[in-house]
Structure 1
Amino acid sequence: MVSSVISFADFQYDHCIHWIYSKGFGLPEFTERRVLNDVTIFYHDSSLRSKMPCPDWLNSTAGKEHWSSIHFWSDNNKLLGNLAFQSATQQFNLTGSLSDQNIYQASGCCSLYPNGTYRAFLNSAFNGKDFLSFNINRKTIVAAVPQAVLFKNLKEGNLLDMDKAAIYYQNTCLERLNILKQAPEVLIRKVPEVRIIEQQKAGSITVTCHVTGFYPRVVQVVWLGPDLQPVDEGVTDVLPNEDGTYQTRKSVIVPEEDVGEHTYSCVVLHSSVPDNITRVWGGEKAGGMAVWISLVCICLLAAGIGLVMWWRCRTRDAVI
C-alpha cells in the first residue's frame, strides 16, 4: 500500500532573513524581513521610527532574548549593507549619480528537514547578480565576481565577525527556528485538493496531478507507476492563490500501449495530513474510450430528439 511507503511525518521548516540596501527605486534605504515558512515574523525598514515589539505569543525568556538579538542583528545588517553597497558601487564604477539606481540584496536561511538534517546558507547579490556567498563551515567568503574581492578581503580581515556569522548559522539560527515555529500563523494548516487531468496526444496520454488550496507552501507530489516519463524534467513550481494558499501540478506521460494495462498513483504529501493523499488513475484504451463516448453521445442525442417530439405533440394537442 502506497501510504505505508511514503509519509510526511513532519515538514521542512525554513527560517530566512532577507535584507535590502538600496538607492532609488522608491524603496527605503534599508529593509529587513525575517520569515518562517513564508510567514513574516519580523519586519523593519529605515523609514520606521522603531522596530517591531516582541509579540505576545513569544513569552518565554529564551524567546524574548532572541527577539532582542533580532533587533541587534537588524542594526548590524544595516551597517553591513551600507559597507557592501558602497564597495560594490565603487568596484563597478557606479559612483556619483550612477549610484542612485542600485540595489544590494542578501539572504540567509537555515532549514530543518523531516529526516532531522539541517542546512544553512548566506548569499548576496548586487543589481540582481551574484556577488558574495559565505562558506559557513570554512568561515570564508566566496567572491562571485572580481568586483567582490575587495569586500571579501575586508570582511575576512575581521576574524571575530567571521566567527559570529558562522556560530549564527551553525547554531543560533536553528535555536531561533525552534522557538519561532510556535507562531500562530505558522501553525495554520489547509488540506490540499487533488484531482487528475488527462490530455490525449498521438501515441501517449499526458496525465496531470493538480494540487491546490494547501498551506503552508511546502508540498511533495509524486507519481508512481511503470514506464512514466516526466514532463519538463519533473520540475514543478509552487504558485500562490488569491486566498493565500498555494497550488502546484505535476505531469507525466503514459505510453499508449500501457494505457488500461496499469494503474498509476499521484501521491501528495503535506503537513496538513498525517499520512498522504493518493489519487489513482487507470485510464482506458483509446478505442474502447471512443466507443463509450460515441454510445453516450448517441443515447443523449436520441433522448433529446424524443423529448423535442414529445413536447411538440403536447403543444399541438393543447392548441387544438
Structure 2
Amino acid sequence: MLFLQLPLLAALLPGSVNAEDPVELQVRLGCELSSSESAKGFMQAALEGSDFLSFQNTTWVPSPEGGEQAQKVCDLLNLYEGIKQIVENLMSKTCPRFLLGILDAGKTYLQRQVRPEAWLSSSSILGSGRLMLVCHVSGFYPMSIWVMWMRGEQEQLDSKRDDVLPNADGTWYVRVILEVEAEDAVGLSCHVKHSSLGDQDLILNWGHSLSMNLIILAVVVPLILLIVLVLWFKRRWSYRGIP
C-alpha cells in the first residue's frame, strides 16, 4: 500500500504543526464475499487512530471524524486518477478473485468425508460389581456425529458422551461411556451415525467377538477330535490286516 500512503503523507505533512512530527497512518483494504458469491470491496484510512477517509464509488470520501483536514486530503487524492484506478481494481477484481481462489482451493478439504474407526473397551468399577463400557470413535470428519449405547433398538439414556476432541490430522475423536451391572452387559451395542457412513450405521456388539470365538471353538475342536479318531481307527485296522 506504499503507492497510497505516500500521497496521503504528502497531503497531510504540509498541514501539520511540525512536519518532523511522526504521523500514524493506518490503511485497510479488502473485500467481503456474500452467500451469493458476490464480492463487495472496501478501503478505509485512519489518522492517529480515528477514521479519516474511505474510497466509495471510485471517489475518496472524508469521514465525519476527519473534519476539514480530511476534506482537503480527499480533494487532493481525487486528482490522482491512476491511484483511484488501482484501488478500484484491487477492490473489485483482484481481491474477489483471490478470495474465490482460496475458497475453491479449500472446498475439497472442507467438504471431505472421512469414515470413523470405532472400538470398545471396559474396566471394572472396584467394589461395585459394575462395568464401565467405553465406545471409542476416532478419525472422522466432519465433526458432527451421533454415538449411543443401545440394547436392541432401545437407546441407553444413561450413556455419557465426552466432548468431541480434535486429532492431530484434523479429524475428530469422541467416546461414550455407559456404566452397567456386569451381568447386564450382554446384549449391549454401540451405534455410530456419521455422514461418511451414509445410511449404514457402524455397530459394535459388546462381547460379539468373544461369542464368535466360543462358537468357532465349539465347532472346530470336536471336528478335529473326530478326524484324529477316524485316522487312528483307520491306521489300527490297516495294521491288523498285515500277516
Larger Rg: 2
TM-score (normalizing by structure 1): 0.32
